[in-house]
Amino acid sequence: MQASPLDALHDVLPPEQVAWWPLSLPTWAVIIASLILLITLGMWLYKRQQFLKAKKAAIELAKQQSDDAQQLHIILKRLVKHYYGAPLTSLPTKKWQSMLNKLSGEDISEQALHSLYGPKNNPELAKQLFNAIKNLKLKEAINV
């Protein structure tokens, strides 16, 4: 008797389900790279927030003193001292004025800075100083 060709066939067995653990090396690499990226991003955001903390505090303080040019000038000097160091705050008036104009984008005149020491309050200067505090550039290199 001749055997049927169907007798030579075997049942098809489905493969076992693949386990998800242990993870493959590329999966571990993606997980580790993602964690490093998230930690680095978090550290950068935290440092940036800490770096800008003094400027935010100065802006809040300036809002309370927005009509007093002398107080705003003091706040601005403290802010420059914090970010650029004490030597810049003791510059002669002409150099201080040019440095302020460079860093803030405002056009504050030397005459207006001299008027700070007079008895009369200058509301236009107070507005310029408030804007200088708000717009102070923090990363620009200074060659004074």
Give me the residue spans of the domains in the chain. 53-135
CA angle (128 as vertex; 122, 131 as ends), nearest 5 = 140
HEC profile of the chain: CCCCHHHHCCCCCCCCCCCCCCCCHHHHHHHHHHHHHHHHHHHHHHHHHHHHHHHHHHHHHHHHCCCCHHHHHHHHHHHHHHHHCHHHHHCCHHHHHHHHHHHHCCCCCHHHHHHHHCCCCCHHHHHHHHHHHHHCCCCCCCCC
Query: pLDDT band at 10, cuts 50/70/90?
Result: confident
pLDDT, position 140: 56
Per residue in 29-60, pLDDT tens?
A: 999 999 999 999 999 999 999 999 999 999 99
pLDDT of residue 116: 87
CA distance 8 to 10: 7
- Judged by DSSP in three states, 74 sits in helix
pLDDT tens digits, residue range 85-130?
899 889 999 999 999 999 999 999 999 998 888 877 788 999 999 9
